[in-house]
Amino acid sequence: MTFKVQRMLVTGGAGFIGSNFIAHVLEKYGAVRMVCVDKLGYAGNLENLSGFLKSEALGFEKLDICNEAGMRTVFERERPDTVVHFAAESHVDRSIMSARPFVESNILGTQILLDLCRQFQVQCMLHVSTDEVYGALSPGQAASLETDSLDPTNPYSASKASSDLMVLSYVKTHDFPALVTRCSNNYGPYQFPEKFIPLAITNAIEDKPIPIYGDGLQVRDWIFVRDHCEAIWRLITHGKTGEIYNIGGHNQPTNIEIARQILTMLGKPESLLEHIKDRPAHDRRYNLDDAKLMAETAFKERVSVAEGLRHTVAWYVKNEPWWRRVKSGEYQTYYERQYVSRK
């Protein structure tokens, strides 16, 4: 598919990856009208988009994707040709404590969005999913392929696997023009500090312990967020609808190695590492085979984890007011108080 995107609707664009994606597209590609729909749940932060909200290129709608009537109004007004679907509950530990919001946003929300995309004849819908749907790899097992069976082990990954299957069912039943992407663990600026890397950085800056689940030898395949964003853009413009694409980071340190690198970069002692009880059903290792993405889109540039971590640590050091507002809860009203006169 070689496709000229003109009007793009982005769900979940006030969260971590969605806000980086909006910035990436507007800074690198421009000439695209974007509208972001986000319910501004606990992980949504309008400050993440503050550089763009005053420009004509980006519209913002505070809305739950499960609100079908509200979403219909946005589709009627915006008439998007492309929809990039990030909106989801995204934290495994929260899904273990309470699964229902994951079923609502990730499964029901996706189905509502699919029906609207069909009715408004969207030309390309990209559903952003995760390597976690494949479940854990055992030692020595080959990297996951798009054709592998799904084996989610926690309510978050089960809800994402369900939404993938819902999207793929629309592809088969309705010849619906969707792509499904399955990416590995992202890190970078604007990540909510409940996730491992920003939690480790901000706790280390504050001289607080860094919680390490179990032995800390679990392996994730880390990708710098802007690499993920570029891969999504390439797939929208050059991928094939109806297909699934893995997007890997090609960086696989253990959790404890990541935490040690962060401490070294910040000049903090290893005594801050605190081993705690492991997460239930904690997936030991993920790894993705993304040869299909590279072959079809020529995407190959990836920031090494050492370089990406240096950049990320420097960002959190420089943007301490951002994460302090998040950790204190002030972020939920800060942007409105600063920029109420936007519209």
Catalytic residues: 131-132, 156
Q: Is residue 186 a contact point for ligand NAD (CB under 6 A)?
A: yes
The answer to whether residue 331 forms part of the interface with ligand TYD (CB under 6 A) is no
Helix (H, G, I), strand (E, B) or coil at 139: coil
| CA distances to 121, 179, 184, 298 from 147, in Å | 28, 14, 16, 21
Minimum distance between the CB of residue 2 and ligand NAD, rounded to whole angstroms?
Answer: 25
226 binds ligand NAD (CB under 6 A): no
| Whole-Å CA distances, 32 to 1, 2, 8, 57, 242 | 18, 16, 7, 7, 24
Are 168 and 129 spatial neighbours (Cβ–Cβ below 8 Å)?
no
CB of 181 to ligand TYD, least distance (A): 16
Q: Least distance to ligand TYD from the beta carbon of 219, Å?
A: 8
For residues 154-185, b (16+ Cβ closer than 10 Å) or e, as one string?
bbbbbbbbbbbebbbebbeeeebbbbbbbbbb
Establish if 247 lies at the interface with ligand TYD (CB under 6 A).
Answer: no
Q: Which of 176, 196, 222, 316 binds ligand TYD (CB under 6 A)?
A: 196
Residues 6+ apart with CB under 8 A from 165: 150
- Which tokens hold the place of 159? 């809800």
185 forms part of the interface with ligand NAD (CB under 6 A): yes
Binding mask 3-42 for ligand NAD (x = CB under 6 A): --------xx-xxxxx-------------------xxxx-
Q: Which residue's structure tokens are 């590492």? A: 273
The stretch near ligand NAD (CB under 6 A) out of 51-59, 180-188, 310-318, 325-333 is 180-188
159 contributes a contact to ligand TYD by CB under 6 A:
no
Q: Which stretch binds ligand TYD (CB under 6 A): 102-110, 173-181, 194-202, 234-242?
A: 194-202
Contact residues for ligand TYD, defined by CB under 6 A: 92, 185, 195-196, 199, 211-213, 218, 220, 255
